[in-house]
């Protein structure tokens, strides 16, 4: 313990800054890495030191350049590496290299990255832990005939998924036999090009469902706690846009059952660090496991707001060998972890909702953000003069608001969004306001196709 004196964040943007903040509060020295395109990016200035990585590589490949990252770590007395989300967060090679080089990987054990990085393996773990799963093929499908056989048995619609998929990509819905062959071939080739692995499997498509996920923390002594659930049903093309915590449209008994199931799975695998167990929930309150994300998630902020627990600091301290309930980490026993009030996170992006959410690029000429009581901002390059490039994802600032009630958190979100003035670049702020003022959002009843099936959001 106390082995971690310096942390390198192998990431960029808001999540790199988020981790630096956690470190600075813990008195830990911070090291940023940046691609040449990110030469002027804010994250490099928010760390104590910053080093260029991935010379000669493409903007994205630079952040995937494990050799270059390890090199910076070794040269600069780094003790531990935090991968953030995306890029190398679920990459076994980074975790392996860290172990070989005597560096601490701030995340779960290699075996967890292995079992949860692959959706089929994750399903199998969920089955052995006794969790309810969506009817699906036993393993990967090797031919169209296998997909047909599944559809004959379970009926359409079905969803073809890449085992290595993530970020809402690598999924294809098939509503009838006529589109099956094309969907099969496309899913396979997309999986190969996007994830370097063409393994696919099939699940029954569950309609009118909500996406509910449970935040978990586990330590090296085998303690596992949940920090309640988030409702991430407001999605566009399977990608989350607005999240709330806790969920509000379900009975307390369902909430308890979902949290219990998540804990059961993570105890079963002896999980370490922060992770999220994701479920789909039907209107009649049946829930089904979909996957585990073995990393910090974009929407962790709202769980922090309702529990008061700093999840990133917990990750760092757990990686340093402290137990959850130690004085240093300070997480209470499960029965004493309270859930206070309601929180909402909106992902403000530099995208144009009127043009199919096309990412916009260019210089931000005016930037004034919202603020005040109960408003939390986690931003990357969000300031006047910042140049938004096409190289990386279009997340500009995460706006999280807290209120005693869901309604007051909404009022606060609308007020905060309304205070923003961003010029020079298009954003989705007006669209987000349309979402959070919608009656379905107020009642907490949005399902995963809410955005795609609600045209009035686009006016
Ligand atoms: P990713 O790893 O890309 O985030 P997930 O497996 O978490 O993929 O699924 C993302 C979203 O896709 C879910 O929140 C849900 O909206 C939709 N989805 C996934 N599987 C199914 C399914 N079997 N039926 C209906 N929707 C699904």
pLDDT tens across the length of the chain (459 residues): 689 999 999 999 999 999 999 999 999 999 999 999 999 999 999 999 999 999 999 999 999 999 999 999 999 999 999 999 999 999 999 999 999 999 999 999 999 999 999 999 999 999 999 999 999 998 999 999 999 999 999 999 999 999 998 888 889 999 999 999 999 999 999 999 988 899 999 999 999 999 999 999 999 999 999 999 999 999 999 999 999 999 998 999 999 999 999 999 999 999 999 999 999 999 999 999 999 999 999 999 999 999 999 999 999 999 999 999 999 999 999 999 999 999 999 999 999 999 999 999 999 999 999 999 999 999 999 999 999 999 999 999 999 999 999 999 999 999 999 999 999 999 999 999 999 999 999 999 999 999 999 999 998
- Tokens 């006529």 appear where? 178
Q: Which of 255, 295, 347, 412 is catalytic?
A: 295
Max Cα separation, the chain? 61
Residue 154 in contact with ligand 1 by CB distance below 6 A = no
CB 122 within 8 A of CB 292: yes
CB 81 within 8 A of CB 73: yes
CB 156 within 8 A of CB 135: no
CB 63 within 8 A of CB 88: yes
Q: How close is the Cα of 238 to the center of ligand 1, in Å?
A: 6
As a whole number of angstroms, the distance between CA 377 and CA 367 comes to 13
- Tokens 């760390």 appear where? 47
Q: How close is the Cα of 171 to the center of ligand 1, in Å?
A: 8
As a whole number of angstroms, the distance between CA 397 and CA 36 comes to 22
The encoded tokens of residue 210 equal 């909500």
Residue 238 in contact with ligand 1 by CB distance below 6 A = yes
CA distances from 3 to 30, 81, 120 (A): 14, 12, 36
Round the CA-based radius of gyration of the chain to a whole number and report it: 21
- Which residue has the CA at smallest separation from atom 14 of ligand 1? 211
Nearest in space to 290 (alpha carbons), one of 253, 270, 265 = 265
Residue 168 in contact with ligand 1 by CB distance below 6 A = yes
Beta strand 104-105 pairing with 158-166: unpaired
Residue 424 in contact with ligand 1 by CB distance below 6 A = no
- Which residue has the CA at smallest separation from atom 2 of ligand 1? 166
CB 458 within 8 A of CB 435: no
Contacts of 384 (CB under 8 A, 6+ apart): 364, 365, 366, 367
Ligand 1 atom closest to 207 (CA): 25
Residues facing residue 236 across a β-bridge: 239
Q: How close is the Cα of 405 to the center of ligand 1, in Å?
A: 28
**Residue 2, burial from CB neighbour count under 10 angstroms (0-12, 13-18, 19+):** exposed
243 assigned ligand-binding residue: no
Residue 167 in contact with ligand 1 by CB distance below 6 A = yes
For the question of residue 295 being annotated catalytic, the response is: yes
ipTM > 0.95, yes or no: yes
- Which residue has the CA at smallest separation from atom 23 of ligand 1? 205
As a whole number of angstroms, the distance between CA 97 and CA 81 comes to 11
Residue 442 in contact with ligand 1 by CB distance below 6 A = no
Contacts of 173 (CB under 8 A, 6+ apart): 157, 158, 159, 183, 205
């Amino acid at each position: 313990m106390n082995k971690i004196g310096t942390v390198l964040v192998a990431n960029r943007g808001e999540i790199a800054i988020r981790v630096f903040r956690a470190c600075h509060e813990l008195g830990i020295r911070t090291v940023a890495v940046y691609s040449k395109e990110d030469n002027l990016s804010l994250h490099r200035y928010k760390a104590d030191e910053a080093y260029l990585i991935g010379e000669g590589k493409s903007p994205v490949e630079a952040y995937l350049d494990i050799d270059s990252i390890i090199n910076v770590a070794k040269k600069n007395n780094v003790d531990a590496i935090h991968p953030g989300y995306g890029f190398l967060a679920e990459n076994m090679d980074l975790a392996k290299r860290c172990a070989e080089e005597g560096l601490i990987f701030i995340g779960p054990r290699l075996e967890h990255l292995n079992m949860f990085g692959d959706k089929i393996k994750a399903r199998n773990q969920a089955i052995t832990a006794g969790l309810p799963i969506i009817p699906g093929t036993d393993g990967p499908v090797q031919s169209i005939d296998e997909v047909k056989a599944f559809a004959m048995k379970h009926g359409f619609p079905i969803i073809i998924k890449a085992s290595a998929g993530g970020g809402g990509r690598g999924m294809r819905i098939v509503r009838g036999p006529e589109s099956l062959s094309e969907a099969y071939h496309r899913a396979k080739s997309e999986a190969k090009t996007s994830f370097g692995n063409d393994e696919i499997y099939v699940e029954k498509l569950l309609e009118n469902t909500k996406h509910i996920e449970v935040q978990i923390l586990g330590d090296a002594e085998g303690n596992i706690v949940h920090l309640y659930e988030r409702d991430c049903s407001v999605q566009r093309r399977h990608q989350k846009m607005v999240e709330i915590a806790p969920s509000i449209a379900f009975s307390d008994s369902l909430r308890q059952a979902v949290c219990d199931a998540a804990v059961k799975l993570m105890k079963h695998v002896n999980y370490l660090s922060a992770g999220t167990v994701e479920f789909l929930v039907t209107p009649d309150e049946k829930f089904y496991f979909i996957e585990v994300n073995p990393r910090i998630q974009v929407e962790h902020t709202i769980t922090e707001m309702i529990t008061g627990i700093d999840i990133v600091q917990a990750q760092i301290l757990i990686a340093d060998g402290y137990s959850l309930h130690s004085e240093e980490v300070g997480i209470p026993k499960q029965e004493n972890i309270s859930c206070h009030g309601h929180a909402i996170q909106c992902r403000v992006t530099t995208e144009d909702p009127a043009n199919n959410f096309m990412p916009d690029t260019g210089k931000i000429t005016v930037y004034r953000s919202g603020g005040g009581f109960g408003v939390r901002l986690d931003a990357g390059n969000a300031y006047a003069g910042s140049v938004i490039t096409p190289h990386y994802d279009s997340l500009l600032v995460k706006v999280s608001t807290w209120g005693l009630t869901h309604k007051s958190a909404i009022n606060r979100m609308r007020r905060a969004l309304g205070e923003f003035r961003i010029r020079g670049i298009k954003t989705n702020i007006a669209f987000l306001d349309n979402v959070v003022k919608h009656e379905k959002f107020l009642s907490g009843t949005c399902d995963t196709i809410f955005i795609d099936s609600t045209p009035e959001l686009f006016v």
